[in-house]
Structures are given as structure tokens and as C-alpha cells.
Amino acid sequence: MRIVAAGAALSTLLPFRAVDSARADDGKKRVVASTGQVGDLARIIGGEHVDVKALMGPGVDPHLFKASEGDIIDLIESDIIMYSGLHLEGGLGEVLEQASKRIAVSQVSDGVPVDQLIQPEDDAFDGNPDPHFWFDPTLWADAAGEAARALGELDPDHATDYLANLEVYTGQLNDLDAYAAEQFGQIPERSRILVTAHDAFGYLGRRYSLDVVGLQGISTATEAGVRDVQNIADLLVANEVRSIFVETSVPQRTIEAVQVASRDRGWEVAIGASLYSDAMGDDGTNEGTYLGMMKYDIDTIVAGLSGETPT
């Protein structure tokens, strides 16, 4: 209902766009990004030439986000809309489709080679590829490439700056990748099992050889059964996994149930600190950037699984 209404609002407002948005006086391109990650990416690649607004604030679940009227206005008045794609922004689908008819649009996941995407097992993600590709920094570098290309196309005058920013950022992502590989390598091999309530970490697991076990099914909207809880408890006990993780987007009690189940089997599992999954940390904090968020997640997982006191 809301999406339809938003779509309708968009199409009625579009003709007035030229009148409403007197060209930005500072000459900066206005970028509207869907998620915090994409917003961060646009800021880094665009640098001083762009003015970025992320629609989804800290802690918002992109699967469930729906645009408000104010968001629609922001979209209409932008020069380019950048979003993650692969159906991550489920509730924005129609709005983005409408907007793409008038405004430049960049789906940063287009930069990722198709063969690098994790294809769904059975009915996960409605048969679409896993959209959480940013948990593999090398794929995020691909997305950064797409962002630089799109911005360069929109604003050819500064295209070289965007490419320069991309080069710097790719270097930082490579460093992050190396850091992650080194950190995860410290964990005993059979304990490299990441249990979370949300299957956002498939790419992280593939890149760094972690077994990722999701309790709550594949999306935040599915429900777990008794058997699912028991299976995971069995797995934890058998592999002596020390910590399980509750990311910020998921009710803590789901994970607590697993904890109780394994305690019953004589194995104490600590609840690791919250991980960031779909959403990033508050603006202005270190975890409010992609690099900071990733480093936080990596450190938290490693600390938890290697038996250090969870932070």
C-alpha cells in the first residue's frame, strides 16, 4: 500500500522536478544512497564533489524499509540514486523502478561478477542471489568500481578524481581483506563456525572458510522450529564452538534459546557481542563506516571463537 502510494506520489511529482531543484549552487552532485554502506561508498568515491544522503539510517533493516514521503522528495531532487541491489532493498523496488525512468541510477552490485554471487540453496532469498555481498571486501571493491563508473558518467569533469579515490579505497579494502584472513586464521579450524540468527554472513564465510549457520532461516521474516534450535545446539557442542553472535537486527531471545539448549547439553556457549549485518553503526562512530564496521565484526568474531572474553 505504502509503496504503491509512494510510487504514485513519485510519478505525480516528477514533472515538477526541474522547477523544484534549482541546480545545486555549490556544484556538488546530489547522491541519494539506499543503505548506510552504499552511502559510505558514495562519500568515499565521490569525495568533495558529491553531497550524499543515505535513506536508511543506522539500525534500519533494508529488507523491511519503506520510503516515507520525505524520502521520495529526496529521491526526486537527487542527481543519482545509488543502491545495493540484488533485491536487498525489497520495499524500495517500485520506487527505484519509477525513479530510474527520470534519474540516473546505479546498482553497485552490478560491479560484482555474476559468477562471484552466492546462488541460493532451495528457496532462500526467493530464488535470488544472496544480497549481502559486501561482507567480502574484494566484492565490495568491485562495487566501488561500479560506483566510480556511475559517478564518472554523471560527472565526466571529475571522473579522474573518482578513479583516484577508487584506487586509494581499493588499497584499503585489500588491506582489510588481508587483515581478516590473518585474524580468522588464528581460530582452530574445526571451531570456525559462525552461528548467527541472520544469514547475512554467507560471503564472509566463503571468503574466510567459516561455516556460517543461520538459526532463523534465511531472512529475518522466517520463523525457526524447535528442531532447528536443537540441531544448532548439537553442532555447537560437537565442535566446541565457544560463542554465538547476535547482530543488531535480530531479537536476542532467538539466540538465547540456543544458548539454553547447549547449556542443557553440558557446553557453555557465550553470547558474543552484537555484529553489524544489514545495517551499520551510528553516524559519526567508527562503526558507522564500512571499514570500521567490518573491522569491528572481524575482531568480534575472532575474539568470540578463540575463547577470549567477548567484548
Partner 1 sequence: MTPLAQLSLDITWDATLRNVILGSMILGLTSGVLGTFAVLRRQSLIGDALAHAALPGICIMFMITGTRSSELLLLGGALSGLVGTLVLLAVTRWSFVKQETALGLVLSVFFGFGILLLTRIQHSGNSAQSGLDRFIFGQAATILPRDVAVMGIVAAVAIGVVILLFKELKVVTFDPAFAASIGMRPDLLGVVLAGLLVLAVMIGLQTVGVILMVSLLIAPAVAARQWTTSLAGMVILSGIFGMASGVAGSVISSLVDRLPTGPMIVIAASIIVIFSLLLAPQRGVLATYRVRRSRARRFRAELALTDHHGVSRT
HSE toward the beta carbon, residue 138, CA cutoff 13 A: 13
How many CB atoms sit inside 10 A of residue 57's CB? Answer: 14
Single residue of 251, 286, 308, 311 touching partner 1 by CB under 8 A:
251
Question: Pick from 77, 211, 228, 299: which binds partner 1 (CB under 8 A)?
Answer: 228
Is residue 220 near partner 1 by the rule CB under 8 A?
yes
Looking at 5-13, 126-134, 175-183, 246-254, which segment touches partner 1 (CB under 8 A)? 246-254
- Characterize 178-217 residue by residue with b for buried, 16 or more Cβ atoms within 10 angstroms of its Cβ, and e for exposed: eebeebbeebeeebbbbbbbbbbbbbbbebbebebbbbbb
Using alpha carbons only, what angle is made at residue 138 by residues 121 and 80, rounded to the nearest 5 degrees?
A: 90
Nearest distance in Å: CB 115, partner 1: 28
Nearest residue (CB) to partner 1, 77 versus 110: 77
Task: Decide: is 289 part of the binding site for partner 1 (CB under 8 A).
Answer: no
Cell numbers found for residue 293: 564496521
Q: Figure out which of the listed residues 64, 159, 163, 237 binds partner 1, where binding follows CB under 8 A.
A: 64
- Residue 219 found at the interface with partner 1 (CB under 8 A): no
The reply on whether position 302 binds partner 1 by CB under 8 A is no
Q: Which of 138, 172, 191, 231 binds partner 1 (CB under 8 A)?
A: 231
Give min distance, CB of 215 to partner 1, in A: 9
Residue 38 binding partner 1, by CB under 8 A: no
Stretch that binds partner 1, among 5-13, 110-118, 153-161, 217-225 (CB under 8 A): 217-225
Binding of residue 283 to partner 1 (CB under 8 A): yes
Q: Binder to partner 1 among 222, 238, 240, 308 (CB under 8 A)?
A: 222
Tell me the window of 79-87, 149-157, 166-174, 225-233 that interacts with partner 1 (CB under 8 A).
225-233
User: Hey, CA dihedral for 229, 244, 173, 50, is it positive or negative?
Assistant: positive
Q: Which of residues 43-62 bind partner 1 (CB under 8 A)?
A: 57-61
Residue 105 forms beta bridges with which residues?
81
Chain residues that interact with partner 1, rule: CB under 8 A: 57-61, 64-65, 68, 70, 216-217, 220-231, 233, 248-254, 256-257, 260-261, 263-264, 279-283
